[in-house]
Structure 1
Amino acid sequence: MEWQGSRVVLVAYCHFLGERMADADLDFLVSLGFRPPGQVCSTDRPPLERLLDDNDDAPGSSDLWGSLPSAEPDDDVAADSEAGSTSDEDEDGYPKPAYGVGKLGWGPPMRSKLMGRLRWFADGHGLASPGRWPPDRRPSGSNDRDLLLHKELMDGLLRLLSESLDVKREVCRLATGHAKASPFPPGLIQAGRDLVFQKLQGAGSKEALDRVPERQPFYLEAISELLRLAGDPDWTRYTKASWSFSAGVPLGVDVKLPRTPALFFRKTKHRKFVGAAEQLSDEPRLNYPSAREHELKIEEQFAKEISLGAMIEMPLEEAKSRYGESLSIASLGAIPKADDSVRVVHDGSNGQHVNDRIKVRDAQSTPTGADLSAALEELPGAYFSITGDISRAHRLVLVRSADWARQACRAYRKDRVYLNAVGTFGIVSASYWWYRLFSGLGRLLYYAHGQDHTTLLTYVDDLIWLTESSQGLPRILASIFLLEILGIPSAWHKFRGGAEHGWIGFSISAHQRLLGISKSRADWMIGWIRKVKSDGFVNIADMGAVLGRLSFGLTVLPLLRPFLGIFALLMYLGKVASRLSFSVQMQRPKGMKCGLAVGLRASPPILMSATGLQKGFRIWRPHGFTWRANPTGRSIASLELLATLIGVVVFQSAPFTHANFVCSAATDNRGNSQLTSRWLTTSFPLVAVLMELATVLQGKSLSLELHWAHRLQNSLADSLTNQDFKSFNPDLRLRFSFGDYQSLVTKEMLDLGSSLYKDIAEWKIRKRGRNDLEKGVPRSKASKLSARDPWK
């Protein structure tokens, strides 16, 4: 309509109307990218004839990514080569795959909530992974002809497995940990490999598909061709790029590492290395005490690495003569493992100018507990899950020969030096290159499975499959089969699955819809708290590591996060104490017993029970289970949160309900809605009320979503404040008495918390008077908590 002057345009939409919504309206919403809850959106993808039109770029086109954060331009466009390159070109001068390129799903990708913040779902395979979309909205060979080859290949592998193996039996052997070697006979692997090669050759591939590059286990030509034919944005990285996995990738010391917008967001935070500008000693560095204790064992492991092509041994003088200033002999550390071997850690930071010269520009997105929870929610009928492990993951990526001398080390014999020819623990870029290599294989599995209701998450070298598909077990085994065909080595003895098992420290039972923390980590958490309480002091340097461990573990148990506020305060006190007394241990302040006492005696039973910690919460979100609380909008935050607590107490949930409890509280305090989303605060007495609320919810097996409402929508709360009850039905009134309420946490927290916060105030005053004190020197790796007490 024509108009003049200024006007305000308001765009609004209502909540989902369920069966009352007309089919035409539902189809319209789906076409805009909405995915109404509880709906199987068979209509939210374009018709098949549109997908097969050469001139139609609808599937996976970048315009569907309009709701995502925009791609960020490169801010440092220095030349990567003598010929020079721009931010729109890779190291070989070819255009970079743009943000939003690839075989993407329809509509926006899934989201997960981590510590109160919404984030894009991460499956560990990059931004172009179809696994970031729900199964019904992924591309497949039935609606994208580029993936028809991959669909036929997977169908062929499934037939081959069903004719040769008892599929269910082999999956069960893997899930129960009884598979000590590959379940696939050599003849079956060769038959599968021949099938892959035949399919690629039939599609016109002229490459040497059976070639395995030197010092590599992978059939990189076959992997590259499978990704190329699928339209994957990173297929050239495997064999065709000058910095390829076939020829060797750079560490990034004297070259700028790639920027790949199609797969990664920009990395904006980089570690600052202490001593980056220091002059290095000409004398080779000695190993740390942890490595010197196991030098003979390290020598034995290095001999195996040499046989696998991962290392090169030569005399020290020859290495100095050949490589000159490029030779960097690092100190080694060693972490004992359960199998009597050690994990060798290569220190490329201290006394070296290696890590401080590497800048990884792509930010890796790895799955968290929030992503695991979101994946289970998208598979409401999931009945099976299984985890796997890639053997020697970081030690599989070939490094270009020009950088081998930068990864040098020594063991028992000081006149001999070992050069690493592959990725190395302790080098900044090692995890990046492994992530990039395997993420392509993860996307390949999605191309092959299409819209099957099976999801794969990858955390570095740890894999987990979740399935609700009737063909889920055969397809999981076929995925493992395809990885072995392409040369991916698996640690077969580490496979687990079935009823309840662990993955990266989490405990999962897909069939029972349970997600929590593993027993070993639960035991460690309880043991550490008990030890500190018993000893009466805490190691200052450990507090940051402990808080990090607890924060990671409790991503799947958000209602225990309020108790982390105590540990955050203790870490703060520890840092102040270190500046005041230069002591590595802090005597427990008189108020510190509050946090430990509450953590052990007044906390939910789940904190005291390893079994409870394993189980956690059910993943289920039914609709229509809501209630409304009306605290006054003029109260302080603690009182408003207290009103929410009363609402949870007096409004009883249905018996045996394990649901998502939604509270729409009419309060003009936006902070409380954010507080119950993040479940963490150090403010007193607000933290006491938050702990009580979390404890009550935990006891009722409920979660809470507290929404903020504008003050103009909070008139009913003002009416209650003014004793105006005419808008309320008196028959529905529920009474609450503080005298009759049996507090679980609040009373003890209020009694002891005052002492703790008094200590904090005193320590702050002391800190302000000593801000000019010299900071402590960095600790060696051997003194860190991860080396002394690993979190298994």
Structure 2
Amino acid sequence: MVKAVKGGPRGEPVEVSNATLSGEMVKAVNGEARGLQLAQPAPTEELEDDWQKEQPEEPSSDEEPDGTLKPKLQDHRGGVGPPVQVDWGGRVRELTDGFGLCSPTRWHPKDRHVRSAFTEKLRDTVLKHVNKWWPETTKTVMFLAVGKEIHKPSEEELGLLREDWFRLLPDPEMASKLPAFQPFFLHAMAQTADLQGDPDWRVLDRVKDSYAEGVPVGFQEKMPRVPAVFRRKTRWRKVNESCLNTDMDNYSSAALAGDALRKSFVEESKLGMMFETALTLAKEQFKDRLRIAALGAIEKSDDSFRILFDGTHGVKLNNDIKPRDQLDFPMGSDAGTQLAHSKEDMPGAHFTIAADVSKAHRRFKHAVRDWGLLTCRDNGAATGDMVWINRVGTFGVASAAYWWGRLAGLIGRLSGRLLGRSFCWQSIFADDLVILAGGQDKWLSILLIIAAWLMVGTPLAWHKFRGGLTTDWVGYYLDMQTFSVGISLARAQWLTRWAVQVHQDGMADMRRFAEALGRLGFAAQVLLWAKPFLAPLYAWSAAAPSEATIRVPKMIRLTLLFLEEQLKDGRHMLPCRKLWRDHGEWFRTDAKCDPDKVVLGGWVCKEGTPTSRASWFSLTLTKIQVPWLFKTDKGSSWASTSAELLATIVAIQAFDISCETGGTAVTRISAGTDNQANDRLSRKMSSTKMPLGLLLMQLATTLSLRRLQLRLDWRPREENSEADDLTNDRFSDFDETERILISWEQVDKSLLEKLLLCQEEYEDELSALKKREAPAPKRKGKEKRCRTEWA
């Protein structure tokens, strides 16, 4: 039987439509205190000031606090060779699943390590009970997906599984002990992780400040470093400074919660998460480490309240907490990559299940010495003598996400090793778990993962299970039928309704505009075609007064109209398929900018084609044809980057390059340029500079229509001499019969022409907004919060 040890100590932005948080609390909610916030893309340079770039601290010690050697990543890889590579939007990186660098589910199933003898026994043990609980595996998973009632293992049934688990371990008696104030069988997890070769097993119960004893808050002390599991953290979000006040009053929003605050505390006290005590006793026990933080509350859609602990203002906890490990969360591009491999490498039907961990960030306990730092009051005690003290992780404290993420990583790696080479992926973002599975054993793989999480003590929220052939996960929509990722149709319709309204009204409430722009930015993390179109929206939003309703420039309206048309056309989802073919470098281009003309040139160099047999073009444009590339007294010399990007657009059309197969396949090509800026732009696909930003929009549209991905690679000028010759009327190395005679009128530039008509008005209005007197205080990007439900 399970024994308890006595003693021993813990996308989508928050909706605040009905809250009355103070300005400072809003910053805490939407800034550093947000443990569950979805990662949002930075608009461009506007958010850079919100981050502190610092040099890494002194090199990490090679030893753990107890003197044992610290594990190295190279000794604890989750598979053979490199992890799966995510190639998304011009950036190549390793797959992230949220479970750490050594997680086996970062590797393709065929490259994962074969299960060890111990792991094979553990898998068989778990499956024995899975088959008892859920004999009809397909039906069980189907019911989970649609929210129907299934058999939930009782505590007695879970106890039997755990007893079988403990018998596989070196010290079954210790394994059976459940450390107080938290739900996980940490001793059993530690022995299991050790036998599986996990590099971080010791933190569970062997080192000082272990999860079993209680982990530190990290206030005014050095946080740990685990190089085998996490990258080193080198940037920290700036924390608002305030005057020290160790006894803060609650915010007015907490008062609106009324008795709900105390009821919540009482319920959590029954779980051992917190306790009520007299203020005098708390002062006597914790002395100068007693900090009473302000609470806020946000009303949720079910009329309950989300309680927020402000660890920044007054108490200044977060100002002196500095995690040294970087938590990496999976994004839509990671899910898209998993879907791409699922489609290509495991034919047949695939299925997905998403689950939530209940109160995840409150499921680990803190060291007793730090409990006083986590003190607060309910409404009834606001002026009284009683306080509530948290024993466990607290939403609003900077280290909460780290300690939960590290613990979740251990669970994810433990369960992931049970999969072996089954075609199953699992990922976690904060408390949101998702499982993608294919192959003949997919139903069993899904239930195996769920059972493993339950076995170690994870409190999964049964009412939040969802899935099927499609599911939503942390704001993204995953479709296992078409193997595509994006946003749901309902969310796309919300964006189109908003875009149509702004376009028709010609006016915008800038608060609502910022809200919608944040959602567009989130969508653009997977909908790559949308990235270039957001740049002018970001620039205008950053310059406009945040609290005003103002006239919308025609260019903004035109851009929104285009986005609306694309979303209505079904482009809220992006097919996730491996590239049909990567052709490598297809052509090279150049542009010559003279005082009175611009000359564009390019030639096809794919597969080593010599110039004597290559298709080529040379197009001369005058000031009358492209006046936007010329300036008084400067000619066109200032526009070399724009001109070379225009040469790329012309080359794609002149050489009539497109994907050679049907369906949703994509062909990748690259092109050579001697302009380094365009090399970077082809990866970033976003610029607020004009007309560069407009040309990127036209390029994105051209590529999308032809189902192409393009990468521009910089070449030194001496390696691009052939294209340079074409811009200087030197055609001797080329065959005149291979020349493509393309005129400016033949170039498809319809979107560009519409946008250029609005450029001058847009730039004038943008300049006027930037120069306005006494601008209203600007909220930083992190404080722009959603006020309306996003489907």
TM-score, with length taken from structure 2: 0.79
User: Is 1:88 the counterpart of 2:62 in the alignment?
Assistant: yes
2:754 counterpart (748, 758, 761):
748
User: Aligned in 2, Cα 1:182/1:669: closer, same or farther, shift over 3 Å?
Assistant: farther
Q: Per-residue displacement from partner, 1:391-438 (whole Å, max 9, x unpaired)?
A: 110010111122122111222202232111111110000000000001
Tell me which residue corresponds to 2:460: 490
More displaced 10-residue stretch of structure 1: 302-311 or 464-473: 464-473
Give the partner amino acid of 1:588: I
What is the CA–CA distance in structure 2 between the aligned matches of 1:541 and 1:358, rounded to whole Å?
A: 32
SS at 2:307 equivalent: strand
Q: Is the 8 A contact 1:394 1:425 kept in 2?
A: yes
Q: Per-residue displacement from partner, 1:136-192 (whole Å, max 9, x unpaired)?
A: 221122xxxxx221122213323443355211111111122224x664355543332
What is the CA–CA distance in structure 2 between the aligned matches of 1:352 and 1:535, rounded to whole Å?
A: 46
SS at 2:204 equivalent: helix
1:72-471 residue pairs with structure 2 within 5 A? 75-76=57-58, 87-113=61-87, 116-141=90-115, 147-162=116-131, 164=133, 165-179=135-149, 183-186=152-155, 188-200=157-169, 204-275=170-241, 278-280=243-245, 284-379=247-342, 380-381=344-345, 383-413=350-380, 414=382, 415=384, 416-471=386-441
More displaced 10-residue stretch of structure 1: 656-665 or 211-220: 656-665
How much has 1:307 moved relative to structure 2?
A: 1.1
**What are structure 2's unaligned runs of at least 5 residues?**
1-53, 594-639
What is the CA–CA distance in structure 2 between the aligned matches of 1:729 and 1:498, rounded to whole Å?
A: 58
How much has 1:572 moved relative to structure 2?
A: 3.3
Tell me which residue corresponds to 1:57: none
What is the CA–CA distance in structure 1 between the aligned matches of 2:132 and 2:182, rounded to whole Å?
A: 31
More displaced 10-residue stretch of structure 1: 643-652 or 99-108: 643-652
Give the partner amino acid of 1:138: R
Give the partner amino acid of 1:623: R
What is the CA–CA distance in structure 1 between the aligned matches of 2:465 and 2:741, rounded to whole Å?
A: 54
SS at 2:590 equivalent: coil
Q: Per-residue displacement from partner, 1:459-488 (whole Å, max 9, x unpaired)?
A: 111111122332122011111011111111
More displaced 10-residue stretch of structure 1: 287-296 or 478-487: 287-296
Q: Is the 8 A contact 1:158 1:475 kept in 2?
A: no
Tell me which residue corresponds to 2:603: none
Q: Is the 8 A contact 1:116 1:674 kept in 2?
A: no
Q: Is the 8 A contact 1:332 1:346 kept in 2?
A: yes
What is the CA–CA distance in structure 2 between the aligned matches of 1:604 and 1:138, rounded to whole Å?
A: 43
Tell me which residue corresponds to 2:649: 645
More displaced 10-residue stretch of structure 1: 189-198 or 704-713: 704-713
What is the CA–CA distance in structure 2 between the aligned matches of 1:457 and 1:472, rounded to whole Å?
A: 16
Give the partner amino acid of 1:194: E
More displaced 10-residue stretch of structure 1: 545-554 or 386-395: 545-554
Question: How high is the sequence identity, in percent, across the aligned residues?
Answer: 32
Q: Per-residue displacement from partner, 1:500-536 (whole Å, max 9, x unpaired)?
A: 1111111111232111123454345445545656776
Indicate the structure whose relative CO is greater, using CA pairs within 8 Å and at least 6 residues apart: 2
Q: Per-residue displacement from partner, 1:46-82 (whole Å, max 9, x unpaired)?
A: xxxxxxxxxxxxxxxxxxxxxxxxxx997348xxxxx
Give the partner amino acid of 1:396: R
Q: Per-residue displacement from partner, 1:611-666 (whole Å, max 9, x unpaired)?
A: 541x2234231225678344334363333333333444433434633222222323
1:648-663 residue pairs with structure 2 within 5 A? 648-649=652-653, 650-654=656-660, 656-663=662-669
SS at 1:651 equivalent: coil
Tell me which residue corresponds to 2:567: 607
SS at 1:295 equivalent: coil
Q: Is the 8 A contact 1:376 1:619 kept in 2?
A: yes
Q: Per-residue displacement from partner, 1:691-731 (whole Å, max 9, x unpaired)?
A: 12223433455443444444444444345435666777778
SS at 1:786 equivalent: coil
1:475 counterpart (431, 445, 449):
445
Corresponding pairs, count: 682
1:585 counterpart (547, 572, 578):
547
User: Is 1:598 the counterpart of 2:559 in the alignment?
Assistant: yes
What is the CA–CA distance in structure 2 between the aligned matches of 1:256 and 1:233, rounded to whole Å?
A: 20
SS at 1:475 equivalent: helix
1:628 counterpart (573, 577, 586):
586
Give the partner amino acid of 1:685: P
What is the CA–CA distance in structure 2 between the aligned matches of 1:496 and 1:744, rounded to whole Å?
A: 44
User: Aligned in 2, Cα 1:114/1:699: closer, same or farther, shift over 3 Å?
Assistant: closer
Tell me which residue corresponds to 1:500: 470
What is the CA–CA distance in structure 1 between the aligned matches of 2:286 and 2:515, rounded to whole Å?
A: 38
What is the CA–CA distance in structure 1 between the aligned matches of 2:453 and 2:122, rounded to whole Å?
A: 13
Q: Is the 8 A contact 2:432 2:474 kept in 1?
A: yes
Q: Per-residue displacement from partner, 1:538-592 (whole Å, max 9, x unpaired)?
A: 6667877765543333211111011120122124313xx5xxxxxx4245366x3
What is the CA–CA distance in structure 2 between the aligned matches of 1:567 and 1:777, rounded to whole Å?
A: 16
User: Aligned in 2, Cα 1:322/1:627: closer, same or farther, shift over 3 Å?
Assistant: closer
User: Aligned in 2, Cα 1:299/1:475: closer, same or farther, shift over 3 Å?
Assistant: same
User: Aligned in 2, Cα 1:221/1:360: closer, same or farther, shift over 3 Å?
Assistant: same
What is the CA–CA distance in structure 1 between the aligned matches of 2:581 and 2:403, rounded to whole Å?
A: 43
Tell me which residue corresponds to 1:6: none
Greater strand proportion: 2
Tell me which residue corresponds to 1:686: 692
More displaced 10-residue stretch of structure 1: 106-115 or 296-305: 106-115
User: Aligned in 2, Cα 1:567/1:449: closer, same or farther, shift over 3 Å?
Assistant: same
Tell me which residue corresponds to 2:609: none
What is the CA–CA distance in structure 2 between the aligned matches of 1:288 and 1:172, rounded to whole Å?
A: 44
How much has 1:304 moved relative to structure 2?
A: 1.2
Q: Per-residue displacement from partner, 1:301-348 (whole Å, max 9, x unpaired)?
A: 222111111111123444345434322221222223233322211111
Tell me which residue corresponds to 1:786: 785
User: Is 1:560 the counterpart of 2:559 in the alignment?
Assistant: no
User: Aligned in 2, Cα 1:326/1:521: closer, same or farther, shift over 3 Å?
Assistant: farther
Q: Is the 8 A contact 1:381 1:468 kept in 2?
A: no
User: Aligned in 2, Cα 1:216/1:652: closer, same or farther, shift over 3 Å?
Assistant: closer
Q: Is the 8 A contact 2:79 2:104 kept in 1?
A: yes
Tell me which residue corresponds to 1:83: none
What is the CA–CA distance in structure 1 between the aligned matches of 2:194 and 2:358, rounded to whole Å?
A: 26
Give the partner amino acid of 1:640: E
User: Aligned in 2, Cα 1:113/1:681: closer, same or farther, shift over 3 Å?
Assistant: farther
Give the partner amino acid of 2:547: Q
